[in-house]
Every structure is written in structure tokens, then in C-alpha cells.
Amino acid sequence: MSAPILVEDLRRTFDDITAVDGVDLEVHDGEIFGFLGPNGAGKSTIVRMLVTLLKPTSGRARVAGFDVVSQSAQVRSSIGVALQDAAIDPLMTGRELLRLQAVLHGIGRKDGNERSERLLERVGLTEAADRLVGGYSGGMRRRLDLALALMHEPKVLFLDEPTTGLDPMSRLNLWEEVRRLNTEFGATVFLTTQYLEEADELAHRVAIIDHGRIVREGTPVALKDQVGSPTLRLDVPGEQYEVARDLLVQFGEERAARSGRLAVGLDAGATGMRDVVRALDEAGIEVLHMELDAPSLDDVFAEATGRRLEGAGE
């Protein structure tokens, strides 16, 4: 099967502004693909082109095997879309909206009603199903939005900043739901986000976009490893300091640390921790405090753009 999402040299301009500037992407079958970038980087513009809401200025994109321009109807039948700001009619109930969604996707009444009930249960909205959506909390709206996107059991699911504006607990719940539908349905998920930890937690692979261009792409671990090795910081009793230092430098280059603390960059990455701990144990060194400071996706973004992403979208 061809890649669920394949993008080649995609561009989109608005008058003299280039929002998307030659993007190439390949999203693999069954993966959660995180699309990370600050506000205005071009994330939503790319999503709008992929879900056929916006025509590209140039370039090509195929979704679920169909061209987004010449086969847009087939694309729409194959995808589920939950756009930014959960565009849900506040004057309708959750159940009414799900049943409407079923009709829009050409699903018969009986099947549509059954699917609506299943989805309401799945996203925990059965109790609130007959309440007007205008009275739902932000988290409930997002969960309903997700249920709407899943009505026709799409092969590819687009989630555009699904947790923006949610409280931490609602965010965690939604992450869990996204993971479940990826593992249980096998749906390929294209997730845009401005939250580093969201991409880190959920995505199998991540692309970082800035000023309409992809600046980094890969698994979160690989991207972070490219920035540099994680730093292990260690406090030991003063009399064991030198012994511990001689031992630690075998695992990587010594790094700057405050007085009395040891710091070393682990050449083997985070997985090298196991060997360090074993060596310290065998040498009889008492460890008072230990922490591993791994590079974050923000470090990856900073390395690629010279700016920090953290807080940029707030």
C-alpha cells in the first residue's frame, strides 16, 4: 500500500505571503505523525490543503492514495477531520450531531444510529448526549469532535491542534483516546500541535515546521539524539568524588557542573544509564542524587531555527 500521506514540494501563497514553501512529507501506514511548529508556521495551512479545504499553489499531495486536487471527493470519503477550535454547532445535541455526521458520510439511518451510540460511549459522552453542545466543556467538545471524525471509520485522521485550550486532565484524556484509536483502529493520525510534550508523548515520528518549511523530521528520540547526548548529573560523597569522576568519563565527555557535582554527556544516550548504574554499584560508590537531562524537542527546534518554541505559541 502507498503511504497514507505523501506530499511533494507543496506550496501555498496568499498574495505575496508564502505560507507553505516547498514541503515534502511521507507519513507511514498506522503511525501517529506529529506536526510541530509555532503559531503561523504553516501547520494549519498544510492540513487545510491535505483535507481538501484549500488548493495548493503548486506541488502534489496524495492522501489515502488519492490526489487532493483531482480526487478530492475520494479523499474526503477516506479521512476524518477534527479541525482547530472544534467547529461544533452549539445549538445541537451531541447525539444529533453524530447522526447528522452519519448522513453526511452516506451512512444509513440504522447503522448511523448504532455507530453514534458506540462512539458516544467510546468518548464518554453517553450521559451528555442529549444536552446542547453549547453547554459542553472544552474537553467534552474535543471528545465529541473526535467522535465525529471517527464516524465513518476513516483510514487517515487529521487532528489540528486537538488539545489547544484544554486543561491538563482533559489533555491527558484526549492523548489516551488518540493512542487507543491508533492502536485499536490502526488509523494513521496526522496531528498538528504547538505543544512539545504532546508531540513527544504521542507521535511515532515528528516533523518540525518553521516559516512554511520543514526544518527537521524523524522520530522524537532520533531528533533529540541529533542535538546531542543526554547529560547525566550525579552527587556523591566528597571522598568518592574523584573515583566516581574517573569512572564516569569512561561513558562520555565531562560537562560543566556546579561545584561538588559531576556531569557527563552519555555517548550511548539514555540507554547508557543502565551501564553507568551497574558500574557505580560495582565500584561501591554511594549515589546521593542522580538526574538525566535529555535534550527536548525544544532543543531540536532551537538547534534548527535559532529560536525557542516553548512558550512561542502562548
Q: Which residues here bind other proteins, judged by CB under 8 A?
A: 48, 51-55, 73-74, 76-77, 79, 81, 83-85, 87-89, 91-92, 96, 99-101, 103-112, 132, 148, 152-153
Please say which residue, 25 or 88, places its beta carbon nearer to other proteins. Answer: 88
Listed in sequence order, the residues at least 6 apart from 98 whose beta carbon sits closer than 8 Å to its beta carbon are 112, 115, 116, 119, 120, 144, 147, 148, 151
SS3 84: coil
Q: Which is nearer to other proteins, 87 or 277 (CB)?
A: 87
User: Cβ of residue 19: shortest distance to other proteins, in angstroms?
Assistant: 12
Whose Cβ is closer to other proteins: residue 111's or residue 253's?
111
Please, what is the Cα angle at 307 between 303 and 313, to 5 degrees?
Answer: 125
Q: How many CA atoms lie within 13 A of 86 on its CB side?
A: 24
Beta-carbon contacts of 14 under 8 Å, excluding residues fewer than 6 positions away, are none
Instruction: Give least dist CB 97 to other proteins, A.
Output: 9
**Residue 53 C-beta: closest distance to other proteins, Å:** 5
Q: Where are the beta strands (DSSP E) in 83-184?
A: 156-160
Query: How many angstroms separate the CA atoms of 107 and 7, rounded?
Result: 30
Q: Which is closer to other proteins, CB of 115 or CB of 205?
A: 115
Cell numbers describing residue 114: 448504532
Q: How far is the CB of 86 from other proteins (least distance, A)?
A: 8
Min dist. Cβ of residue 80 to other proteins (A): 9
Query: With respect to other proteins, which residue has the nearer C-beta, 156 or 234?
Result: 156
Helices (H) and strands (E) in the chain, counts: 11, 13
Residue carrying C-alpha cell 546531542:
228
Nearer to other proteins, 27 or 144 (CB): 144
Minimum CB–partner distance for residue 5 and other proteins (Å): 15
Nearer to other proteins, 66 or 301 (CB): 66
| Residue 118 grid coordinates | 458506540
For other proteins, the closer CB: 54 or 263:
54
Q: Which of 138, 104, 153, 145 is nearest to 123 (CA)?
A: 145
Nearest CA to 78 among 162, 149, 182, 161?
Answer: 149
Q: Is 205 helix (H, G, I), strand (E, B) or coil?
A: strand
CA neighbours closer than 13 Å in the CB half-sphere of residue 10: 30
Give least dist CB 182 to other proteins, A.
20
- Give the nearest distance from C-beta 76 to other proteins in angstroms: 5
